[in-house]
Every structure is written in C-alpha cells, then in structure tokens.
Structure 1
Amino acid sequence: MELTTGSKQFVLGDAASILESITDAFYGLNRDWEFTYLNRQAQQLLARTAADLLGKNVWEKYPSAVGSEIEAMFRRAVTENVTVSFTTYYADHDRWYEVHAYPSADGLSVYFRNASERIKAEQRLRDSETRFRLMADAIPQIVWITDAVGNAEFFNQKWTDYTGTPYNPATAEDISSRFVHPDDHLPTMRAWGEAQRQGTTFTIEHRIRSAAGEYRWFLVRAQPYRDPQTGEVVRWFGTSTDVHDNKLMEEARLRSEAKYRTLFNSIDEGFCIVEMIFDAAGKPADYRFLEVNDLFEQQTGLSDVIEKTVSEVIPNNETRWFEIYGRVAQTGEPVRFEDESKALNRWYDVYAFRADATANNLVAILFKDVTERKRHEHEMVKADRNKDEFLAMLAHELRNPLAPISAAADLLRLARLDESRVRQTSEVIARQVKHMTSLVDDLLDVSRVTRGLVKLEMNVLDAKRIIADAAEQVRPLMESRRHHLAVFLPPDTTFVYGDAKRLVQVAANMLNNAAKYTPEGGSIDMRVDVRAEHVLIEVKDNGIGMTPDLQGCVFDMFTQGTRTADRSQGGLGIGLSLVKSLVELHRGVVTAQSAGLGKGSVFSVYLPRVSAAEAFQGAAGGGPQGGPLGRLKLMLVEDNNDAAAMLAMFLNAAGHDVIVEHDSRRALERSRHEQPDVFLLDIGLPDMDGNDLARRLRGQPETVGATLIAVTGYGQESDRRATAEAGFNHHFVKPVDTAMLSALLSELAAARSGRRKTDITS
C-alpha cells in the first residue's frame, strides 16, 4: 500500500508500531478481500510471511475457509457493518481461534489468537463438572456447594429425590428455615455462623423434612475451600448423610445401657466382668477388668481398673484366683466360695459364673467383703476358747485352795490334835479362804465394771502414795519369786484425781502381772513421771515379753500369755482387763509394749494431772472445778501409743470421756455400741486409713451424725480436700493446737446444750 503524503506516512507508522506491540495476531483486508497488513504474531500463527500474503485474496490463499463460519462471519460484518466475535476450529491448522472482526470503509480489521488451550481447558472443566455431577448423583448422600457466605450453588439429585424440591439458588437461612426441623433450625444456624467465622469444618446433626412431610436425622459436614492465592474461603463443599436409623438404634442402645447400668449399680455387692487371659499352654495367667459397678471400689479399695489387668493393679495377687476364674470360663460351671485375698487384706464371699454363654473367656464375679464377719467369727472362736480356758483356770484356781481346806477339815475331825496343830490347821484354812476371796473379788470387780456399777470416790491423790501402797501389797509375791523391785519417783508433785482404792488396785495388778511373767530373780521397775498434762505410772520388767498378736489383745478378758504346764503364774487372766476398765473410768489410757518374746514388757498408765494449785483448791472445795459446758464422749483412734496417750490425757483433763483405740476395725466395731459424739481419727492408720474409716462411720446409722475430726501430719490443700470428701467436719494438723481443739470441743458441747455452734478449723 502506497501513501503519498508525509503526514499520512507518519500516522501509518504509529499504527504499525502499535499493531506490532500487541499480543494478538492482526491482519487487514480491503474491500476485495485482499491482505493489506499482517503483524508478526499473525505471520507466526498463519506460518506465512507478509510477502506471501500482502495483496493476495484471502479466500484464494485459504480455500478451506470458503463456506466456513469464518467466511460467513466476515461477510456479515462487512455487509451489516457490525463487529463480529466468534471462536472457530480451523482444520488446516488443527487449531481453535478466537476472532474479533471490525468493519471499516477500507475493508475489515481482524484480530485473532490461538484459543486451543483455552478451549481444551474449558472442555476439561466441562468434562470434570459432568463427572462430578454423575458422581454426586450416584452417591447416597445429599451433596451441596455454597459460596463463601452460604448461598447455595449446587445440590445433587438426592436432594430433589428426598425433599421433592428441585434445586434453586437460595441462602443457607432460607434452606434451613424451609427444610430443617424448627427445633434444630437455630442450633444449625449458630453452628454454621461459627464455622464461617472460624473457617473450620461445619458439623451438626439435624432433622430434614422429606417430600412426604416426615423428618429424618442427617449428619451434616462441610469443608471450606480456600483460594490458593489469598487463602480466603471462597466455597463450602458439604454432604448430608441420613443417619436416622442409626440414631434410633443408638438411642435404643443408650436406653438399654442405662437400664443395664442402673441394674448393674443397684446390686448391693461388688460386681465385675473380667476377660480371662490364657498363656500359650492354655493355662489362666491373668484377667482384665472390662466392667465394674459402683460398689467395686468400696469392696476392694481399687479404683481406675477398667481395661487394666489384675497384675497391673494387684502385682502380688495370688495365682489361685486365676485358676478358679479360668476354670469357670473354660467349663462354664459356676462356683461359690469364700477365700482371703492376702494382697488386699480382705476376705470375700464370691460367686463367679460365665458372663457369655458363647464366649469362654468372660467371667462375671459377684462378691462381698466379709472381712468383718470373718473377724467376728475369729473373735467368737477366740472368745469361746478363752472362756473354756477361763473355766478350766477357774476350776484349777478354786481346787488349789480347796485341797488344803479339805485336808484341814479331815484333820480336825480326828479330834486328837493339840493346840499348836489346831492353830496351824486354822491358819492354813484362813490363808486359802483369803486366796479364794481374792479370786471371787476379782470376778465381782470385773462384773461390776462391765455393767457400769462401779462408783468411784474421787479425791485429789498423790500418785507416789498410790504406788507405795501397791508395792506393799505385792511385796510378798515379789519376795517369794526373789524379784528385784526398783521404784523411781520424781521430785515434782504427782497429783491426780481419782479413787484411791481403785488406783492402788490398778498399780498392784500391773505389778502382779509383771511378777507372774518374769522369771525368778528378775528385775521389775516401777516409775512415776510427770508430763505437761498427765502423770505416767510405768511398770517395766525383763520377763518373757509378748508377741505382736498378744500385744493387740493383752487387755481383753481372760487373756494370758504363754504358760508352762505347772501354771506357776496363776490367776484368772482378768487382771489387765480390769486395769484397762478402771483406768478408762479415770479418763486415763493404758498401753502395753514389748520388743518380742524374751525381751520383757512395759505397761504404762496415763492419768490426768492435777496441778499443786488445783490440788489445794480441790482439797479445800471438794474436788477440781471447771471443765467444758457439757461433757462429750470422744473416740480417739491413733496407732502411736505415746501420741494417743498424751492427747487422751488432754481431752480427759478438759472434762470429756475418752475412748482410745489403736486399730481401725476395732474402733469401727466399738463405735456401734459406744456411739461417741466426736471421733478424732489419725489418717495414717495401718490396716484401714482414716479416710476409709470416716466413710464407714458415715455409712452406719449409729455414727452417721457424729462430728469427725481429722488429726494428721498432712496439711496441704489436697489433704484437706481429701478429708472433706471422706466426710470429716474438721482437719487438724499435728502437732495439734490444743487451745483451738479445746475451743472446738467447747463449741460442740455448747451446741449439744442448745447454744450456737461455730466452725473452728486448724
């Protein structure tokens, strides 16, 4: 094309520069359909140079375009003078072209580009969408897609089939209000809103209305899809799965399980289901706890055992339990038995049976802690044996004086005795009658004390005088056995408040006991010591000593230590029982200790101390004054003898009746008939700790309303919570603040007298 003026040449030069810089291919056609211009992109796409095409007819150069969409659209643009845009496939190039043609007075300007990749991508997208729709319509769940704010963009065919409503664009609020159960609508929208705010998975179960108008439960889950570039949520892809039948089955299962669990826990005995574990040889080697009821922990003392083996929770468990339960599992034959678990220190009454008729490894075990019953049975057998031994001893002790009395009577019947013989015979009868009288007096004393018939004549007494009188009483016995008796007295005043006759009896019985069980020529020490709040009277010997078992029952009725066949000790075995009863009547405490057989024994009596000033006042006014308003009956349970004695002395001095026990189980048994107002319990007791004892006291009607005070060396907040959970009202940390304890007891006593009660803790 030739341009004659410089100005026009300048304009064309500008246009050419622009056309060469654009990314689209471009060519110009004149009215005769001849090429007037091609830019570089056009030459590259058409694979022709400008020299090949300029001035040539397009239809002649590209005959395959004749009759095609290209020709039709080009001729329409020129004829109708309109811009045309289209995408077409040109077979000769095996390409798709995106074409834009603009008519002008000179001809046609054509912009085009290779659209093959775009067309292929669009086709792939259409194919993908088709596959997605086919897949979405094939699965049983409702599938849906929303935009970022919840406007529905897609529902699969399952939605239409279930709701009877074809998909229409709608908001999440519209869809929920129309199809979700009214009770589930607000929870659904709240959960949906929260998921949108957090950009996290949306999950909920709700009911959706069907085409028939019924509601079924669906599990709904949706995941956010984020723009890879911005990270912003742009869509939500979700499913709604019909879980109605599963929901009903689960609800039925839960109801059934609740009934089962209620029945399971209503059993008033311990119950568990275990899975037996057999070794390679088929022998029972262990078992695992699968289920336990509420009473299991109370009956065993074990907690948190589910899915654990016995070897884990009771490492030293006896293997016979495996054998018994393994036999039940393998044979299906139930078994009922009583046995002791030494590992748990308890006796059990057990009924075991196969838990599942089709499984030979599951065993159900119904059991009851019968330790108390077994202990009672043992004590009854022991008491019966002691009674038989006592009757035998009584017969023996009565026959001994009767033999010389009978011989003396026979001698007197001879009537040929001189005066000296008669006097000698009379003295024999008198001595033996005195001995028999002493035996009968002891029996009567025990009977009176046991029935509460002893009346004490209380006065201020000097403990030194008491032991002097007692030593004088037993001197003949000491001399006859060639014992060395040493008495140690303190320089301080040793005033106590008591019955002189009974306290002398206490000291004499202790000395008699030491003399009986100390070999001839042995040593016996009697000591009086003054403590802050009590007077200690102690008898120590180097005699035969005591076993631990005997120490636990030495103060029981009719108890005697090991004796030889000649019964050189003598007596009825009631002296120490009488000592304990009389000391407790004086608000005191008596203890017994021994390092073992052959190592002697120490018996200690702790009596409330009376100061010199109080003694003077008592002498002038007839007895000690003061004491708390109202007297409380207290039970102190403490395994440390000295600690128990000292605290008991203080409590007695404060005017309260104190019962001391060193053993939890004995304390529990005694509490049923004593029914104390207040319990002071050490926590670190050996056989049953103070917390367990407190729970049992709260569980029996006789002591359910008593005040429980924990006396322990542990004072952390967790320790206080533990005692509170066990049922304690108060928590005192050792060493006990006696002023605060006294104040608390005074308040409790005042409350019993109708006064206001306040809470005091330490």
Structure 2
Amino acid sequence: MGSDRVTDTETLTAVKSTGAVHDPVTASEIADALGCTRHTAYDKLEKLHDQAALRTKKVGARARVWWYPADSSPGHPDPTNGEESEHLYRTLAAQFPNGAVAVYDHNLQYELVEGAVVGTTLPSREQLEGQTFAEIFADDLGDGFNSLLRTAIEDGATKTSEVTFGGRDWRVWVTPLCDSDGEIVAGLSVFQDVTEHKRLQAETTESTFRQLFENVPGAYLILKPDDYEIVAVTDAYLEATMTERTEILGESLFDVFPDDPQTDAEGVHALQASLKRVTAERQEDVMPVTHSPIPLPESEGGGFEDRWWSPINTPILNADGTIEYIVHRVKDVTPIIRQLHIDGAEEPLQRFDYGELQLTADILQRGQELQQAKEEAYDRVRESERKYRTLFESINEGFCIIEMLFDQDGDPVDYRFLETNPAFEEQTGLTDAEGERMRDLRPDHEQYWFDRYGDVAKTGEPVSFEAEAEALDRWYSVYAFPFGEPKSQQVATLFDDITDRKEHEQRLERQNERFENFASMLAHELRNPVTIGQLYSQQLPTEAAPQAVDYVTEAFDRLEDIIDVMLVLMRGRETAGETSSVELAETAQAAWRDVDAPEATLELTSDWTIQANETYLRHLFRNLFENAVEHGGRDVTITVSDLPTGFYVADDGVGIPPDKRDTVFEQGYTSAAEQGGHGLGLAFVNELATVYEWTCTVTESANGGARFEFRYVDQDPHQD
C-alpha cells in the first residue's frame, strides 16, 4: 500500500490502538497494523509529528519511536475530531508562507481556504469559499486547471503543476483526502506564489551566464544587429582594447572605436561592410587581417595606437530565423604584423604575397586556423554540455548515474549514487541520495535491481525493462546504459514511475477475467433453456396455429444467434473457432432466407470462396441485410459482390452520414431503439472482421445508400 493510500486518520488510529498514551510505537508495528510498507508508515508518522499530533525520539544509532502525548486529550486539538480538525487546519494553513491551502469538494468548490496570501494576492476567504477558481479567474484558467483538481478527487492521484492566474505564477500541488474507510471525500490543493522566485531565478541565471561569458578566454563583443550597440564584452576584449566595461556597454561600436583621422586606415569601413553582410546573409563572415587603430585613454596620453586585427562576425539567430545578436570576435595580430614589417616596408600586409615570405604567411595562416578550430571545438563542447545539462535538469523522468559495487566473486552487492536530476526525488521518494549507497537508503531493495545494473556495467550492453521496486512501493520503466570509461563500473539510468499504469492494467485484467467468466456462465445458462425450447418447438402441432409455431421456432433460433453474437463480442477469436472453405454467395443466400423481407431484392455477383466460420459469416450477412431493410425500406435492393482483396455489401437506401460511419460500429449504438434495436448487430460485424484481421469500412454506395467493404480477406488457397 502506498503512502497516498494511507490517511493521517488511519495512521493516528493505528498509533492509539497499538499503544496507550505515552507508549512508544515503531514504524514496523504501525506498518503491520495498516498493512503497508515500513517506509510508508515511517513517512506518515513523521508527517503527524510535523503536525504536532505525535511526539518522536531517536533510539540507538538508527531506530526511532513515536507516541501519542498526554496533552492530546481535552484542551489539545485531536485531528480525528471534525471541529478541532478544522480549527487546527485553519491555524496551520494561515501560517503557510507565500501561499494558500484549500480543501475542495467533488464539484471543485472550495470549502476551506487559508494562507498568508488569502485576501492579498488572492481574493478573500469569503470570496473563495463556496466558489471554484475557474469561476473567479475565468479569463486566466482553462479546462486544464479543472483537470488537475479532478486528478486528486476522481483518480486519487497526487500531482504538481504550475499555472498562471491573477497576474501571478503559482505552483499547485493537489492530493486526495480520504475518510477512515479509504473513500475520497475531498481534495486538498496547496498554492504557492513562485512569481518572485522565478524572477530571481531568471536574474540569477542571466547573471551566471553573463559572468561566464565575461571570463571566456577570447576577445568577444555581443552587438545588437540594428545599431551595433554593445550589450556584453569579455575581459579579454577590454584588455586588448584598453577600455572599461562601464564606458562601452550600451554604446555603439563605432562611437567607441571611430576611424583615426590622422591615418588612411579603413578598419571601420571594412567592419561596417562585414556586419552588413552578416545582417543580409545571416551567415558568419570572416574578415581579412584589418588595420584599425584604437583610441588611447587619456591616462595613456590620448590619440590612437596602430593595431591589426583578425575579426570574425557571427549571427545569433532566433527560432524564426531573425538575428537576435551578432558576436564580434577579434584576435590582436599586431605583434605578427610588426614582425613582418621588415626593412622598413610601408605595407607589411602585402608581404604575404612575396615569394620569400610565403612560408611565413602559410605558417601564420595555419596557426590562426588551428587556433580558430580549437576555439570552435571548445565552444561546441561547452554548448553541448549546456544543452545536455538543461535536458538533464528539465526532464520529468528520473535520471541518475550510479557506481556499481561488486564483492570478491564479482557479484553485484550494492551501488552508490553519483549524480541525480531534480525529478529523481519525486520519482523515487529518496532525498539527498548523491554519495549514498542504495543498501543504506533501502536495505530491503530487491537483489534483482543490483543484478540488472551489474550486467550493464559488466557487459557494456544497455537494457530496457519494467519491474517493481517493492522497497520503494513503485513500478518503473527503466532504460539503463553504461556510462564513462568501462573500468569505472558506472551505469546511467533513465526511469519513469509507472505505478498508476500498472495498477490500472491489473484492475483491467481482473475485470476482464470476471467479464469472461460471466459471459461463459451467461451463455451456458441461456443455451440450456434455448435448446430445450428448440426441441419442444419441433414437437408442436402445426395444424392449429402454423404461424405461431413458426414464430416460436424462429424466436428460439434468434436467441441462439444472439448468444453466438454475444460470445464473439466478448471473446473474439477464441469463440470464432476454426475456419473452413466457405462460398460467399451460398452463405449470403442462406442468410437471406432468414430475413423477413419479401419485397426486398438480393443481387449476388460473388465468385469468392474464403476461409471463415460458416455460422458466424452467415450471422454477419444476416445483420447487414436486416440493417439494410430496417433503414433502407422494405423494397430495398442489396448487392453482394467481390473486391480485389475481399467483398462488399451495398444497398440503395438512405445511406449513413459521414460523421456517423465510425459510430455505427460501437456496441449499443442504434437509431431504431423504439423498434427493438439492441445495437449489437454492426458491433458484431466489426468485431468478427477484427477477429479475422479483415478491414471493415463504411462508405456510400453507387446508388447513394450504405456500402460495407471488407478487405484483406483470406481466400481459399484451392480456389482458381
């Protein structure tokens, strides 16, 4: 039994019945009394201690006991008492920091609302109680919020979500409230205003990334694409250009670094042209080595100093392809250019074209390319790490990296948690697990888990599986794969809590089993009187009332058909039994003789012999024929003919509207209920087609009526 299925009242009652006032009890004793795991009992006892309903004390190195205090008698609130529970609830909830706690009923109306933000950020208690949040915040909240509340009160599940209403961001936690019999009587929702937290988190994130960027080992600027305003700069750039961050942030690049009026350097013009190309083409632009003097600060005497740069301008694109920023990266190559200024040459950049300096130019170029490749690889690694870290921290699935521990014989005995993601705690219930061993956290954890992860560490082969972890009181879907170096014995696991799905599957399995047993019993009990009725109907004298005898005989035959139809609908292929060669035209003609429609016409143009059960195929035709007569009129014309991979049954009646063509196959659907229709005929047709792995579709016939098409029908292998 999970902790969400054991109520506080049940736990408190178990404490009272297990020990008298002041008598200590252990988690194991309460687990036995409640029929749950020791872990669940421990969590519930600690929760009651946090609510001041119980006292606790540590005994020995790892044991702990709890007891019901004497002052819980008159004068001390008893959580099992209605009025005192409400008073205790309101007193505690009113102190809930930066949020509110509310109890709501099955209509999602709030019965009790308390909290520090009630009457301030949220409406007053009088405005909220008796209303639904969807009514008060109709413009902000949609059906999704009501679905969240229903999750607790209808499904008995506990969930957390984030919503926005009243201009604020809220984290909402919902859970069911149960009575002593385990029945859900209300829902509990906890609202916490996280607006300021998210704002501070965003500011902290931006500040962190800005600090990281400013310490990048390279000269970088980040510019706005419209006016080239400087929005970020690295320390390396400030050092290379002898500028201060406070002086250049918010300024245009070309206001900070204008052309030197005393020289004919064209650095500014060349940079403007490069940035325009980046804006127009939205692609990186690598500039040639450029002569662009920089202004000196007054402390250095003012004026300009000659500098040569190797610039690269790269666009940063939004999701829609527009440019959000431009990254301007430069490398100061002034020492190299000065070294090449040999023998007083006035144009050192042109020396790259001279034969005697070709080798030097090649070495310079290769060195720059290698440096660029190294920086780009470093950037890619950091970007990859950032993406995977973001994914690691944002996924809903639990993720952890563990180190397997083996004994001297090489058998897995334990594992240590090295790293976990934020969803890990919610998925497992384990807190502060990093650095801890699983055996210490859950000593009774099944050996199965250690064996599976041990195989991954040994073989290096990933595995996917579903298994129950009884010590955690959950089912999991797991993907485990080797991580790091082979000798590290590390395994990474990605897992999801599938307890709700497994419990639902088990309920369905039990329900289906009961359903099949009921079907067998019902069919057996019905067949006996029907068989007897058929035998005696054959002995009735036909001279006195021949028509009545025919009606009685037909009624018993019809009952037998309905039993067969019911079994196919309930059991599928198991009931359809073995198949044999069946001629479509002959079977359809036999079914037509059972239909009371003397004015209707059947046209047969089929030459197919197929593999099917003749009895059920005749039922299929009879249901389709009766449906055509019922909806197409007593004088309807029905056609049975072949398709390339099957056959069809068509009529010239009123047809079936396109929006009803899927609905007609549902059990219980009928448009002739007043005439005795039971809604099983077409459901049987569709189910039999599914059993035989045929496709069954409804369309319009050539004469505007209904046409039922059956494809991928198994043809008799002996048919020519």
Report the TM-score, using the length of structure 2 for normalisation: 0.23
Report the TM-score, using the length of structure 1 for normalisation: 0.21
Indicate the structure (1 or 2) with the bigger Cα radius of gyration. Answer: 1
